Amino acid sequence: MAGSTLEIKDLHVEIEGQQILKGVNLTINGGEFHAVMGPNGTGKSTLASAVMGHPKYEVTKGEILLDGEDVLEMEVDERAQAGLFLAMQYPSEISGVTNSDFLRSAINAHREEGDEISLMKFIKEMDATMNTLDMDKNMAQRYLNEGFSGGEKKRNEILQLMMVQPAIAILDEIDSGLDIDALKVVAKGINEMRNSEFGCLMITHYQRLLNYITPDHVHVMMQGRVVKSGGPELAQRLEEEGYEWIKEELGIEDETVGQKA
């Protein structure tokens, strides 16, 4: 097995006193693409945010390990430096900081002091990656996410993903708000990342994304847990039949965790 391994064990997470995750178990190995699916309000995005260390989410029980190291003991920046990446559903807008300056800081944060990327090499890589993602060149000089359309924000998240080259990436609803052409472009970028070392967890409630990025494993979340796992055929069945059959099979009436996440 090459690459890194992210293990999520019996994860319980609260936000503002409300329990959202109630025991999630999931293991992602390098080289594997996983999809976590499920209706709205079942805890999918909470899972992503908790792994990255969002300040509003509190882990009350369970473990997250990256190659055996305790992720929960790490600060957010240390998690990133250890190899985690989260493409966010709602990335922050930061006025006055150009996309390009930000990206260079992010890349250098992953490198040793004294081994910073040269400006020329950085620009070359950024140009090439923006090209792949069909992004307007002037986006490099615009302020980070400020005034970006929904689609531009998503592409920008993937641009960061491709340039930072993390060991394990979580993509939180990277397909939402994208038209079909944009979705294809984003999928192309993500597929370029595929190799025997890179592990990826895609969160989505549409099968649509999975037409372009084929997952090795599919998981369904309901009531703050993974209730069903399978191969790509599971996603196919969800696309055709919806989620009702799973609820019936498991005797679930309300699949949400009691609050829209």
Contacting residues toward other proteins, per CB under 8 A: 52-55, 75-77, 79-81, 85-86, 88, 91-92, 94-97, 101-102, 105-106, 109-110, 143-144, 160, 164
Is 164 or 252 the residue whose CB approaches other proteins more closely?
Answer: 164
Is 39 or 91 the residue whose CB approaches other proteins more closely?
Answer: 91
For the chain, the residue count is 261
Is 80 or 183 the residue whose CB approaches other proteins more closely?
Answer: 80
Is 75 or 179 the residue whose CB approaches other proteins more closely?
Answer: 75
Q: What are phi and psi of 191, to 5 degrees?
A: -65, -30
**Structure tokens given for 108:** 């250098």
Min. distance of Cβ 163 from other proteins in angstroms?
A: 10
Phi-psi region of 48 (alpha: psi -120 to 50; beta: other; left: phi over 0): alpha
Q: What is the DSSP letter of 74?
A: S
Q: Which residue has the tokens 């055929």?
A: 233
Where are the extended beta strands (E) located within 49-142? 57-66, 69-70, 84-87, 94-98
Compute the distance between CA of residue 38 and CA of residue 222 in angstroms, rounded to an integer.
6
Q: What is the DSSP letter of 235?
A: H
Min. distance of Cβ 100 from other proteins in angstroms?
A: 12
Min. distance of Cβ 35 from other proteins in angstroms?
A: 21
Min. distance of Cβ 105 from other proteins in angstroms?
A: 5
Where are the extended beta strands (E) located within 93-241? 94-98, 143-144, 168-172, 199-203, 217-222, 225-230
Using CA atoms, how far residue 84 sits from 180, 196, 222, in Å, is 28, 16, 25
Is 54 or 247 the residue whose CB approaches other proteins more closely?
Answer: 54
Min. distance of Cβ 207 from other proteins in angstroms?
A: 27
